[in-house]
Amino acid sequence: MDFSEIILSAIDSLRINKLRSTLTALGIIIGVAAIILLISIGTGLQNYITGEFEKLGTNSIFILPGKVRVGPQGGPPQTVNKLSFKIADRIEREKGTFINLVLPQIEKNITAEYRSKSKITLLIGTKSDYFGISDIKAKTGRVFSQKDDQTSKKVAVIGQTLASDLFENQNPIDQKIIVSEKSFTVIGVMEEQGNAGGIDIDDQVIIPLNSARILTGAEQVNAILVRTTSTETIPQAKAQVEKILLRTLSKDDFTILTQEQLLSSILQILSVLTLALGGIAAISLIVGGVGISNIMLVSVTERTREIGLRKAVGATSQDILSQFLAEAVILSVVGGLIGITVGYLGSLAISNFVKTAIPLWGVLLGIGFSSAVGVVFGVAPAIRAARLEPIVALRHE
Amino acid sequence: MKTLLSAKNLIKVYGEEPNLTYALNDVSIDIKNAEFVAIIGPSGSGKSTLMHILGCLDKPDKGKYYFEDKEITQFTDNELAKIRNTKIGFVFQAFNLLPRTSALKNVELPLIYTDLSKAEAEKRSTAVLNELGLRDKLSSTPAKLSGGQQQRVAIARALVNNPQVIFADEPTGNLDSKASQEIINIFKDLNRRGRTIVMITHEKDIAKNAKRIITIKDGKIVSDKKQTTSR
């Protein structure tokens, strides 16, 4: 009995019990579809974040206050913020040949008001270069200029969400909003940025750094973004920044992150997440496998006479073993293939809401895992079938 | 004629001490090529056990069994499967056809365990079914066939490997008298053309169609008679 005959004869047997075969395969279909769907969501999220980071360019260094550990053991910085304008100025003065741009940034939750409406939103104080680096354009009006910053102009560029919350259908340009009890003129509304991990980036107000400094009265900055001359000069620039910072600060007062580090840490977390999601889905596949085992055992009992007959007409124990194993594996592989299709269609269906992408390894994992399930859970019933004595099997009622 | 089967002092015991049952108690039998033998006896006489051993489905506890001068009692399970596949055909009382499977596929069953190509297997199965008058039933499933037709499919399955001998275990047990006679006639016809037939039955009327009747009782052969005239 050669391989193709084993397969054909197994397919015949499965076709004879269509309903039962379909129900058994359903367990595998659901399991594999769930794996594919969850992996596609995880991978889609990774691709999205990578894309967003690439928009920022790869020649950036971030200086953050306190000791920030990114990665699975990360947590919020707990020390007092010792990053100040003074330090930013010092880096600016000594920026040397590797650093292009130093961009201190203030972030604060504030209340923005317009007439009777008010809303808690995120205030960002930064220099005009921020718009170019972050690829933010004004949809209406304009973004502020270097001159606006130098003269501490009380102007604001607001996000879409904030604009519609405060102004509804009214044109916000040249209107005055109250930010922390000071009046600012809206000069521009940003293009829609979208949603990043549940945070609405369109719900914010950006004002010139110097204006923010006066408004908050703070000497601390929340982050300093340093742009290097190129990707290659990042190590030198990082060393230089570190040297300047260590003059007045201790090692635990700041964290220097390169874009690459940040991205790889986030991706690391996301890949762990993706695997965890896939692992949860894999449990349902194992449940599907138990279903196969169960049905195959029932099938062996039900077909005892058939097994006896097959042996009587010349089937060896190995023939019977291969036949029942083939039935289990075909069920799970076909179930796996349908599951991949269902998972793919599912990920297309939700791609309007969540970014999805199906990596090749996900598909291979789905096929591999489902056939492994077929073998593992098909072996016990197949062995039971193969061991049946022909005369005992023939006598079975 | 050459001796096809030769069993010497077969003993088969069921149960455990002290409740031993001798299904076969020192049975010796020789069957020659082209014989038509009926083994007759009441239920529990050991005739089915004897057929299982002669048909290489089971092994005796003691004694020796030779098939075409080869000592079967020394064979491994796989070698026995090979003998059953190439030298022996079985016909059962309950037909034992695969349900929801066409007559043609049922007949092809023994051939999937050979090296024969799928096309050749189909050709041979069709030919045997045609010969047994089932030309227009090739794609019928057992449920759509009468008892006599089902048994003819089973005989076709037994014949498809062109075996040396056909063992039939109560082949008419589930059939009415008309269908029974049909089946018996097929066996007689096959025998006339040189096929060895060993038939188990408990009905004297059926047995008398054979050329030789062996009566077995309590695990022993009590008579072994040649029929002078076979109808």
B119 interface with A at CB cutoff 8 Å: no
DSSP letter string over A267-334? Answer: HHHHHHHHHHHHHHHHHHHHHHHHHHHHHHHHHHHHTHHHHHHHHHTT--HHHHHHHHHHHHHHHHHH
- What number is the average pLDDT over the span A115-139? 88
Whether the per-residue pLDDT at A55 is higher than 80: the answer is no
What does the pLDDT read at residue A198? 56
Q: What percent of chain A has pLDDT over 70?
A: 94
- What number is the average pLDDT over the span A334-350? 92
What does the pLDDT read at residue B2? 87
B95 interface with A at CB cutoff 8 Å: no
Closest CA to A139 of A175, A103, A172: A172
Beta-carbon separation of A313 and B58 below 8 A: no
Q: Please give the Cα distance from A319 to A9 (Å, whole number).
A: 11
What does the pLDDT read at residue A384? 92
Q: Please give the Cα distance from B145 to B175 (Å, whole number).
A: 13
Give the ranges where A154-258 is alpha helix by DSSP (H): 160-167, 209-216, 234-248
Distance of CA A353 to CAs A1, A348, A350, Å? Answer: 52, 10, 6
Beta-carbon separation of A316 and B112 below 8 A: no
Residue B75 burial (10 A CB sphere; 0-12, 13-18, 19+): middle
- What number is the average pLDDT over the span A46-63? 79
Residue type, A223: A
Whether the per-residue pLDDT at B231 is higher than 50: the answer is no
How many CB contacts within 8 angstroms connect chain A with chain B? 69
Strand partners, B220: B217
- What number is the average pLDDT over the span A309-317? 94
Look up the pTM and report it.
0.71
Q: Please give the Cα distance from B57 to B38 (Å, whole number).
A: 19
Give the ranges where A56-188 is alpha helix by DSSP (H): 85-93, 129-133, 146-150, 160-167
Q: How confident is the model at residue A75 (pLDDT cuts 50, 70, 90)?
A: low
Do residues A226 and A61 make contact, with C-beta atoms less than 8 angstroms apart? yes
What does the pLDDT read at residue A96? 82
What does the pLDDT read at residue A51? 80
Beta-carbon separation of B86 and A316 below 8 A: no
Encode pLDDT of B166-215 as tens digits: 999 999 999 999 999 999 999 999 999 999 999 999 999 999 999 999 99
Whether the per-residue pLDDT at A131 is higher than 80: the answer is yes
B109 interface with A at CB cutoff 8 Å: yes
What are A's interface residues with B at a Cβ cutoff of 8 A? 1-2, 5, 8-9, 12, 16, 305-306, 308-319, 389-391, 394
Q: What percent of chain A has pLDDT over 90?
A: 31
Beta-carbon separation of B100 and A306 below 8 A: no
Q: Please give the Cα distance from B179 to B183 (Å, whole number).
A: 6
3-state secondary structure of B212: strand
Partner residue facing B100 (CB), from A16, A313, A317: A16
What does the pLDDT read at residue A285? 84
What does the pLDDT read at residue A288? 86
> In sequence order, what E strands does B76-211 have?
88-91, 165-169, 196-201
How much is the ipTM here? 0.93
State both tokens at A83.
């990053």
Interface test with B, best of A8, A13, A309, A389 (most B CBs within 10 A): A309
Sort out which chain A residues have CB atoms less than 8 A from B55's CB and list them: 312
State both tokens at B152.
């003819």
State both tokens at A15.
């076709």
Q: Please give the Cα distance from A20 to A217 (Å, whole number).
A: 74
Whether the per-residue pLDDT at B106 is higher than 90: the answer is yes
Beta-carbon separation of B90 and A313 below 8 A: yes
Q: How confident is the model at residue A199 (pLDDT cuts 50, 70, 90)?
A: low
Lowest mean pLDDT among A257-266, A323-332, B70-79, B111-120: A257-266
Shortest Cα distance from B140 to chain A (angstroms)? 14
Beta-carbon separation of A309 and B109 below 8 A: yes
Partner residue facing B98 (CB), from A1, A2, A306: A306
What does the pLDDT read at residue B105? 94
Encode pLDDT of B120-164 as tens digits: 999 999 999 999 999 999 999 999 999 999 999 999 999 999 999
Shortest Cα distance from B231 to chain A (angstroms)? 31
- What number is the average pLDDT over the span A152-177? 91
Q: Please give the Cα distance from A254 to B202 (Å, whole number).
A: 100
Whether the per-residue pLDDT at A72 is higher than 70: the answer is no
What does the pLDDT read at residue A65? 87
Nearest CA in chain B to A303: B98
Say how many C-beta atoms besides its own lie within 10 A of residue A287's C-beta: 14
Say how many C-beta atoms besides its own lie within 10 A of residue A85's C-beta: 18
For residue B29, what is the enclosing H or E element?
Answer: strand B21-32
Q: Output DSSP code: residue A84.
A: B
Most confident of A53-62, A136-145, B210-219: B210-219
